[in-house]
Chain A
Amino acid sequence: MLTKELVAASTVPLVLSVLTDGETYGYALIQRIRELSGGKIEWTEGMLYPVLHWMEDEGLIESEWREAETGRKRKYYRLCKEGRKALREEKQKWMTVHETLTKLWKIQPHLT
């Protein structure tokens, strides 16, 4: 399990990265992360929404209420231009950490 701090720090880049595949809603976003991480990244689901709203206030993403195929309304989120820029920066930061740790641990990419 990841620590609370690591989960908090990785939420924004994870959300931005999922949204590069196209728009989605909160529940589906959480399922996607759970699936990709093999269940290792577990969010307290409701906590994602304040982050999404903060990201929307910052202009990284935008949202729209639409009727889903079930007939119920859902709020869909999609990436904005600012969000793509933020994702590029996030990518750089996380790659720096990743590369440094990889060198330190001398992990061969094909062994992982």
Chain B
Amino acid sequence: MENPTAFDLNHAVQSWRENLATSPSFRGENLDELESHLRDSIATLQNRGLSADESFLIATRRIGADGALAAEFGKVNQSAVWLDRFLWILIAFQVWRIISSASVFTTVAAAALAMSINGLLPGLGLRQFSDSFIQVTVALLASPLTTAVVLAIGWRFCTRPREKLRAIFRRLLLRPWALTLALFSCGVLFAAGSVWTLFHWVYPILYHQDLSHASRPSLMMLSVMPLPQFAILALLTLFVARRRLRISKAS
């Protein structure tokens, strides 16, 4: 029977390479060359009588730590490194906009909750808070709290190597069209949704203003207005993501 813990040299070299490939500092050709070096080094050590796993460990140590290698290769592949940074700025900006649109929904939910709790207070023999106090508190806290919670969840799911969300994100980075479309459609949906919510729920609940009938054209205008901005961001994301991918695969 095959030993389930037997060391698979090819698999080890492959995951070593994949780990390096997560850094924008390496082009495809650089990884080919480093892998060729590693395999030469392993073969020499094995010829001296070392086992496959020992040879792999020593060879990877001799070739250098991933971070140090990325730093040195980054110096000769600066355009790829800067393109990668620019792409992350674009992604972060679009994600931040989605989060701020989403915070309108949490504001509504928080306001509805706060007001219904406030309504129960007299029944418990307690004094009610004024509406303006609730308006200010909800408006001040809901958005930053939503941002913090979303960022914490995102951090939790994206930083652990085996998390599914991280894997999905890595796959998206390899598909510029999918990445662009995902960010664009989420951005537009959340922006339109937030405008609709603002008019139909936020104003009526928080400020007791019914804007749902009088302002249909304004509602349309507010929904359409950010579209050119989303389109420009999407085009830029597509361009940068495709270029980044082309450079990283360059030979």
Number of interface residues of B (CB under 8 A): 20
Q: Enumerate chain B residues within 8 angstroms of A47, measured Cβ to Cβ.
A: 64, 68-69, 72
A73-B36 contact, Cβ under 8 Å, with A45-B62, A45-B63, A45-B64 = yes
A72 at the interface (CB under 8 A from B): yes
Binding site for A on B (CB under 8 A): 29-30, 32-34, 36-37, 39-41, 43, 62-64, 68-69, 72-73, 75-76
Q: How far is the CA of A53 from the CA of B43 in the complex (A)?
A: 25
Q: B139 to chain A: closest CB distance in Å? A: 52
Q: A27-B40, A47-B64, A75-B29 are in contact. List 13 more A-B contacts (CB 8 A).
A: A25-B36, A26-B33, A27-B36, A27-B37, A44-B62, A44-B63, A45-B62, A45-B64, A46-B63, A46-B69, A70-B43, A72-B36, A73-B36
- Interface SS of A by simple majority: helix
**Would you list which residues of chain A between 27 and 78 have a CB under 8 Å from chain B?**
27, 44-47, 49-50, 53-54, 57, 70, 72-75
Most buried by B among A27, A46, A47: A46
B37 engages A46 (CB within 8 Å): yes
Of B30, B37, B75, which is within 8 A of A45 by CB? B37
Closest to B25 in A: A50
B41 engages A44 (CB within 8 Å): no
A44 engages B64 (CB within 8 Å): yes
A73-B32 contact, Cβ under 8 Å, with A27-B37, A45-B41 = yes
Q: How far is the CA of A25 from the CA of B36 in the complex (A)?
A: 10
Chain A, interface size category, equals: 10 to 19
Q: How far is the CA of A49 from the CA of B38 in the complex (A)?
A: 13
Q: Enumerate chain B residues within 8 angstroms of A46, measured Cβ to Cβ.
A: 34, 37, 63-64, 68-69, 72
24 A-B interface contacts by CB (under 8 A): A26-B36, A27-B37, A27-B40, A27-B41, A45-B37, A45-B41, A45-B63, A46-B34, A46-B63, A46-B69, A46-B72, A47-B68, A47-B69, A49-B34, A50-B75, A53-B30, A54-B76, A57-B76, A72-B36, A73-B36, A74-B36, A75-B29, A75-B32, A75-B36
Q: A34 to chain B: closest CB distance in Å? A: 10
